[in-house]
Structure 1
Amino acid sequence: MSRIGRQLINIENDIKLVYQNNQLEVNGPKGRLTLSIHPQVILTITTSEVKVSLVKKAETTALQGLYRTLIQNAVKGVKDGWTKTLELVGVGYRAQTTGRELTLSLGFSHPVIIKEAEGISFTVAENKITVIGCDKYMVGEIAAKIRKLKPPEPYKGKGIRYQGEHIRKKIGKAAKAVGGSGGAK
Structure 2
Amino acid sequence: MSRIGKKIINIPKGLDVSIEGTKIVFKNTKMQRELETYDRVKISLDNGVLSFGLKDEDNLKSKAFWGTYRALANNIIIGLTSGFTKQLEINGVGYKASLKGKTLELSLGFSHPINYDIPDGIEVVLDKNLITLKGSDKQQIGQIASEIRSFRPPEPYKGKGVKYVEETILRKAGKTAKK
After TM superposition, the score normalised by the length of structure 2 is: 0.92
Rounded to whole Å, the distance in 2 between the matches of 1:20 and 1:136 is 23
What is the identity, as a one-letter code, of the residue corresponding to 1:150?
R
Aligned length: 177
In the superposition, relative to structure 1, how do residues 51 and 140 fare at CA in structure 2: closer, same or farther (>3 Å)?
A: same
Residue ranges of structure 1 left out of the alignment (5+ in a row): 178-185
Per-residue CA deviation, residues 26-64 of structure 1 (Å, 9 max, x unaligned), is 122563322221312111013411000111123221211
Larger proportion of helix: 2
Given candidates 107, 111, 114, the residue that maps to 1:112 is: 114
Q: CA deviation at 1:175?
A: 7.1
Q: CA deviation at 1:100?
A: 1.3
In the superposition, relative to structure 1, how do residues 44 and 175 fare at CA in structure 2: closer, same or farther (>3 Å)?
A: closer
Contact 1:30–1:79 (CA under 8 A) maintained in structure 2: no
Rounded to whole Å, the distance in 1 between the matches of 2:96 and 2:23 is 42
Q: Which residue of 1 aligns with 2:49?
A: 49
1:9-88, aligned counterparts within 5 Å? 9-29=9-29, 31-58=31-58, 59=60, 60-88=62-90
Rounded to whole Å, the distance in 1 between the matches of 2:74 and 2:54 is 17
In the superposition, relative to structure 1, how do residues 30 and 158 fare at CA in structure 2: closer, same or farther (>3 Å)?
A: farther
Per-residue CA deviation, residues 7-26 of structure 1 (Å, 9 max, x unaligned), is 10010121111322322221
What is the identity, as a one-letter code, of the residue corresponding to 2:78?
K
Contact 1:8–1:49 (CA under 8 A) maintained in structure 2: yes
Contact 1:30–1:134 (CA under 8 A) maintained in structure 2: no
Q: Which residue of 2 aligns with 1:97?
A: 99
Per-residue CA deviation, residues 78-107 of structure 1 (Å, 9 max, x unaligned), is 111111000001111111112111111111
Q: Which residue of 2 aligns with 1:157?
A: 159
Helix, strand or coil: the match of 1:71? helix
Q: Which residue of 2 aligns with 1:182?
A: none
Rounded to whole Å, the distance in 2 between the matches of 1:174 and 1:61 is 55
Q: Which residue of 2 aligns with 1:167?
A: 169
Rounded to whole Å, the distance in 2 between the matches of 1:175 and 1:75 is 51
Rounded to whole Å, the distance in 2 between the matches of 1:176 and 1:8 is 57
Residue ranges of structure 2 left out of the alignment (5+ in a row): none
Helix, strand or coil: the match of 1:104? strand
What is the identity, as a one-letter code, of the residue corresponding to 2:8?
L
Contact 1:90–1:159 (CA under 8 A) maintained in structure 2: yes
What is the identity, as a one-letter code, of the residue corresponding to 1:109?
S
In the superposition, relative to structure 1, how do residues 73 and 30 fare at CA in structure 2: closer, same or farther (>3 Å)?
A: farther
Contact 1:10–1:50 (CA under 8 A) maintained in structure 2: yes
RMSD in angstroms over aligned alpha carbons? Answer: 1.6
What is the identity, as a one-letter code, of the residue corresponding to 2:80?
V
Q: CA deviation at 1:6?
A: 0.6
